[in-house]
Amino acid sequence: MPTPVIHPADEAAVESISRGTHGDPFAILGPHVINSNGRAFLRIRTMQPGAARVDLLRAGSPDAPRAFSRRSAEGLFEIDLDTIERVDYRLRVTFGDGQTREIDDPYRYGPVLGDVDLHLFNEGTHRLAYEKLGAHLWSVGPAHGVLFAVWAPSAQRVSVVGDFNHWDGRAHPMRVRIPAGIWEVFVPDLGEGTRYKYEIRTASGDVFLKADPYATYFEIPPDSASIVWNTGKHQWTDETWMRTRPGFDSWLERPMSVYEVHLGSWARVPDEGHRFLTYRELADRLVPYVKHMGYTHIELLPVMEHPYLGSWGYQVIGFFAPSSRYGTPEDFKAFVDACHAADIGVILDWVPGHFPKDAHGLARFDGSALYEHADPREGEHRDWGTLVFNYGRHEVRSFLLSNALYWLHEYHIDGLRVDAVASMLYRDYSRQQGEWVPNVFGGRENIEAIDFLHQLNILTHGEAPGSITAAEESTAWPAVSRPTHLGGLGFTYKWNMGWMHDILEYIRQDAVHRRWAHSHLTFSMLYAYHENFILPFSHDEVVHGKGAMLNKIPGDIWRKCATLRALYGFMFGHPGKKLMFMGCEFGQWREWDYDGSLEWHLLDHEPHAGIQRLVRDLNSLYRRERSLHELDLVPAGFRWIDCNDNENSVVSFIRCSRDPRDFLVFVLNFTPVPRQHYRVGVPEGGWYEELLNSDAHIYGGSNTGNAGGVSSALVEAHGLPHSIDLTLPPLSCLVLKWRG
């Protein structure tokens, strides 16, 4: 066939596509009807860098393969067919080394994403954006392959690259959907396990590689390619849990004791190079341990893929991908399944407040400030070296909100703990004068972030009934855990950072000086019901020179352990849900090391084994006694007996359920002095059983106590008609229950 006439505009397009600078590859590549000199015919072009020859194979045709003509040295080939009808064909590509590969041509397929999806994404209301963007195993008619889609509105050209095209951006440039700014391409014959990235050419001509923001699986760091993965392979067995979860809206009245875990350092495998435990090994070891200890939930430091282990997971690259350090997505689903089989809820730390500047991540994704603000006064956290999401941009909201639902729906996660909420709420967070931009009203509040948090909580509570959200919010922002229709942010819970700081400051005092710090023990009850609080002893309190829990306490090892046991007794008696970081439950000596393992060998020593037994028994008591959780978040559930005995560093209080005759009495002595005949007022006469004594021998204590209980006397004390005469052990917590 004679070579068709080449027009100058055609030559420019050929050069542009060959160089990888053309922004509309589907206008050049694939089949096109050409009208030239009164003749209509079909022209097929394909870009095959490194190919020596390309042949056309007609499906169902007895015709011999026909060779393409080379149009450019870079690898653009074309062929003309005497037809204008649709042709079913494949390409046989022969490379310079003689290797041959038969492929389906991606450029003979039309657009895949629908206009409604594009509109919702641009509107910021696409709740399931993860089902459309990213890399998905896909079928178009009989063809099977992968649909790639990525948002990059400022890019001049976007290509998907990987092993399948020798990481050459000229081979698979994508189609841009205007005005959505989403680039897509369906690549037939690709399957699960395909490694890929996006090669982006910016408007200024810079070219770089980016990981897929919606990727569901990644290479093990430090490698950073995204991986095509079928995340639907796991067969869930938690139907009962998921069916009953909507009824968990009553969590406010249910026991909730959370074990906070960093999966990479809970335990390692020393015999195999100190490697991580896998998700499935953690299901076999961590889940039974948490069950044995009596916790109701596991909270995981971020499991989303992150390049730097030292960020503890808080600098996320792959928001939709569980870290490959511990296994595959289906392995992580198996872990969650095992938790639910053990009646343990799973909470994920979630980080919508910032993201890292790694070159392959979200930072200046298409050469512009896409996910972040362009102005560093709005878009950068200098303390952390990270960037701030632009919450006012609709597409960013689609990304983040759909990500929240992704974990709740696809991985059956039961709650999200939102990190660093304070940094989201305030435009001047950790910034000096002149380093921040006021809002439209001249204030310091981040209105767009507030609106985003409203949407997040309305959406997650509505779309995943029974799930919870918890805010790490360290300021006095009002109504964090109040419904949005009442003017709140809408979180289920807020971490009680004030209580945590006060009580840790209190136990740091030498016992003889605690009388002067007594308000640290009692002040929290002045605001205990302003929010739905979780009482946290989290990872942040045992790193960066703050010391492990035991090392915060002065004195010899006996005093340290006894004080820690009393502190934990106070925590479980105080109103609020409970959270304890791994290692705190047995009194680890050293600070948490993200790159090591907990000091499990300490359990060979009775002081540490005793602390662990106490925590287990406190969890059991907390779950068993309705008075410790039924009215946990309303004033009717708590009453001071005496909060003013600072001279003896003793406090006493009552916890009760809806039944006024179902109550517990807590008495705590924070000095090493045993106190005989210490009288405490009680509301009812009768026998008071000593349910728990933190000084018991089984916990490592001196075994001072009340021989199992005491009878009350009709002697008024503390404004109550009856009283009990107690022996208070040194540095102890007593829990007594009225038995009538």
Q: Which residues are catalytic?
A: 419, 472
> How far apart are alpha carbons 437 and 575 in whole angstroms?
39
Strand ranges across the sheet with 709-711: 638-645, 650-656, 663-669, 732-738, 687-693, 709-711
Contact 674, 515 (CB under 8 A): no
What 3-state DSSP class applies to 593? coil
> How far apart are alpha carbons 694 and 563 in whole angstroms?
9
- H helices then E strands: how many in the chain? 13, 39
Cα-Cα end-to-end distance for the chain? 105
Write out the DSSP string of 157-181: EEEEEEGGGTT-TTTSBPEEETTTT
* Token pair of 198 as six digits: 């996006």
* Token pair of 550 as six digits: 């035991």
State the chain's maximal CA–CA distance in angstroms: 115
Q: Cα dihedral angle (258, 259, 263, 264), rounded to 10 degrees? A: 140
What 3-state DSSP class applies to 725? strand
> How far apart are alpha carbons 177 and 172 in whole angstroms?
16
Question: Do the strands 257-261 and 577-581 form a parallel or antiparallel pair, or are they unpaired?
Answer: parallel
Residue position matching structure tokens 């309705």: 626
Helix (H) / strand (E) containing 66:
strand 66-67
Contact 664, 735 (CB under 8 A): yes
Report which of 574, 567, 568 is spatially closest to residue 632, judged by C-alpha positions.
574
Residue position matching structure tokens 């992150």: 306
Q: Which residues pair with 53 in a beta bridge?
A: 94
Residue 261, C-beta contacts closer than 8 angstroms, at least 6 positions apart? 286, 298, 299, 300, 301, 582
Please tell me the total number of residues recorded for the chain in this structure: 740
Q: Where are the alpha helices (DSSP H) in 411-496?
A: 421-425, 447-463
Contact 619, 630 (CB under 8 A): no
Q: Where are the alpha helices (DSSP H) in 362-420?
A: 376-379, 394-410
Phi, psi of 320 (to 5 degrees): -105, 10
CB count within 10 Å of CB 314 equals 20
Cis peptide before 222 (omega within 30 of 0): yes
Cis peptide before 179 (omega within 30 of 0): yes
> How far apart are alpha carbons 282 and 332 in whole angstroms?
10
